[in-house]
Amino acid sequence: MFWKVESRKEFLVAESANMDLMQLDGELIDSLMSYADKIDQKVSKLKRLAQELRQPLEAAKGREEEYLGNPLHSFPLIRHMYQDWQYLAEFMKKPVGEEEIGFLRKKLPELPWQAETEEATVYIFRIAETHGMMPWEMANGLIDNVRLNSTLSALDCFEVAKLYFKWGYFKQALQWISISKTRLQEEYSGVYEVLGMSGQDVALLQARCLVELDLRDVALELLVKQPDLAEHSTSWLDQFEAYPHMTVDSPPTLGEDFKRLCRSSFSPKPSKLHCRYNSTTSPFLILAPLKMEQISLEPYIVVYHDILPEGDIHQLIALAEPRLRATLAFTEDKSDSVFGAFLPFKDMNSSGEPVLDRLTQRMRDITGLQIHQRNRINIIKYGFGAHYAARHDFFNETNSETEGYGDRMATVMFYLNDAPNGGATVFPRINVKVPAERGKVLFWYNLDGETHDVDPKTVHAACPVFHGSKWVMAAWIHEYDQMFIQPIYREGKMKH
């Protein structure tokens, strides 16, 4: 797993950055209104001037010769034609709203970049595909049986349609285009063109999707109805057939088991495992046992409830949030695996050491394993659409981490808040789903306890968050620290 910290993706994960963005949007709209008011003032002044200048012409209409015979009419005409139009030319050339234009230019670098907009669109794709939502459901604010008080505009839907087309999902692209067209208001057609979306653009993309689906006749009928495209409609279609769409990159890989587990419709089968109080992994637990829920025995996965005190949770988030950095992680094949905001232990404010020390001791109590002080931890925040693609935590290879500490024997994950809308941790190979609930701790072994062979069944993923955010603190426990606690009892199948 390779982590890459991005400095320009905070809009996707940080509420504070989005709040700043909303505030900036309001300022830009106010500036736009000021610009429009100044244009209106200039237009109003020009209209009043035109009405005043037209009055002598109206008075002379039908009796021009008689009218111009009067010197008090001829003189004003000559003076007016010499002086007034020169002043008017200067007035018309004078720029309007230079202050507002300058403000916009100054603020443009603070706006999201193209890559961020594309990533946000990918999030819509990922959420829709994960939860099996139809385009009209997503556009109307329905996600996984949750009704959100929001809808997507014609421009939003067209942007999503372009992404589906890019990845070769032509039927879905047509559905998004259809929704976009129903939301186009005729009286605002000029406005949409200013914002980069014309009726011609929509019709051409729709026609191209139809051609890709071998529906040329339907595409021709569509283009013929477009006044600006009708004349060359056949040429357009010939060009589409001659140069079929080539997919440049591929969409996120979302396994069927992953999607099934992430949906609210998933209902786990009754388990023979049970809940109990754990008082055996640490002497302290004899006095204060912990509520433990068994999730799986092979691999060993348990959940501890009500572990984190509210004060520790608030302190962790308060310490972490100002230092979070948007992050991408890549698997060995360089594919995008996770996106969220990330804070490693080394970047934590020193004032957070006491609470981390308490949590480290808690991990010892939970696991019964040797965990050295200042153990490596990561605090991760998953915002809108953020995800964690299916992967293992073990390496099963030699690298700088395994040479010094051994492989990642076990994982401990602290949930710092409730994430009811997405965000569950799922184990697709064993049909397990663990919802993200505040104060809960998830613990599992990545290696076999007796042989230290890696366990492929521990492949796990995080469902995308589609409303709110999800905070977790993750820590890995390594082999070499456990050599006197959990030695290798028998030879396994893997080479070490």
Tens of pLDDT, residue by residue, the chain (496 residues): 434 444 444 666 566 777 888 999 999 999 999 999 999 999 999 999 999 999 999 999 999 999 899 999 999 999 999 999 999 999 999 999 999 999 999 999 988 888 888 888 998 999 999 999 999 999 999 999 999 989 999 999 999 999 999 999 999 999 999 999 998 876 666 788 888 888 899 999 999 999 999 999 999 999 999 989 999 999 999 999 999 999 878 888 888 999 999 999 998 877 777 888 988 888 888 888 999 999 999 999 999 999 989 999 999 888 888 777 766 554 444 444 445 555 555 556 667 788 888 899 999 999 999 888 777 788 888 887 677 788 899 988 888 888 888 889 999 999 999 988 889 999 999 999 999 999 999 999 999 877 888 999 999 999 998 888 899 999 999 888 888 777 655 555 654 4
Query: Does residue 259 belong to any structural domain of this protein?
Result: no
* Among candidate residues 138, 189, 190, the one with its CA nearest the CA of residue 164: 138
Total-model pTM: 0.84
Let me know whether 428 and 376 are in one domain: yes
Let me know whether 323 and 390 are in one domain: yes
Let me know whether 290 and 376 are in one domain: yes
Q: Are 180 and 202 in contact (CB under 8 A)?
A: yes
Query: Does residue 262 belong to any structural domain of this protein?
Result: no
Give the pLDDT score at 186: 64
CATH no. for residue 272?
2.60.120.620
Give the pLDDT score at 463: 92
Catalogue the E-assigned strands of 251-398: 275-278, 290-296, 301-305, 325-330, 336-344, 377-382, 387-391
Helix (H, G, I), strand (E, B) or coil at 57: helix
Phi-psi region of 419 (alpha: psi -120 to 50; beta: other; left: phi over 0): beta
Query: Does residue 251 belong to any structural domain of this protein?
Result: no
Cβ neighbours of residue 440 closer than 8 Å, sequence gap 6 or more: 303, 304, 305, 306, 307, 414, 415
* 452: containing domain: 268-482
Let me know whether 294 and 409 are in one domain: yes
Phi-psi region of 280 (alpha: psi -120 to 50; beta: other; left: phi over 0): alpha
Residue where a domain terminates, one of 110, 136, 165: 110
Helix (H, G, I), strand (E, B) or coil at 414: strand
**DSSP code string of 331-347:** -TT--EEEEEEEEEGGG
Let me know whether 300 and 368 are in one domain: yes
Give the pLDDT score at 490: 54
Q: Which two tokens stand for residue 16?
A: 């504070």
Give the pLDDT score at 332: 47
Let me know whether 228 and 327 are in one domain: no
Q: Are 117 and 78 in contact (CB under 8 A)?
A: no
Let me know whether 136 and 177 are in one domain: yes
Query: Does residue 4 belong to any structural domain of this protein?
Result: no
Give the pLDDT score at 2: 39
Let me know whether 338 and 437 are in one domain: yes
Let me know whether 103 and 199 are in one domain: no
Query: Does residue 247 belong to any structural domain of this protein?
Result: no
CA angle centred on 72, ends 70 and 74, rounded to 5°: 70
Q: Which two tokens stand for residue 388?
A: 């964690």
Let me know whether 101 and 123 are in one domain: no
Residue where a domain terminates, one of 110, 141, 164: 110
CATH no. for residue 132?
1.25.40.10
Give the number of domains in the chain: 3
* Among candidate residues 338, 301, 286, the one with its CA nearest the CA of residue 413: 301
Let me know whether 155 and 208 are in one domain: yes
Amino acid found at 106: K
Let me know whether 237 and 272 are in one domain: no
Residue where a domain terminates, one of 91, 110, 129: 110
Give the pLDDT score at 487: 64
CA angle centred on 223, ends 217 and 225, rounded to 5°: 110
- Return the biggest CA–CA distance within the chain: 122
**What's the rounded Cα separation, in Å, for the pair 240 and 207?**
9
Query: Does residue 457 belong to any structural domain of this protein?
Result: yes
Q: State the burial class of residue 333 (Cβ atoms within 10 Å of its Cβ: 0-12, 13-18, 19+).
A: exposed
Query: Does residue 379 belong to any structural domain of this protein?
Result: yes
Query: Does residue 276 belong to any structural domain of this protein?
Result: yes
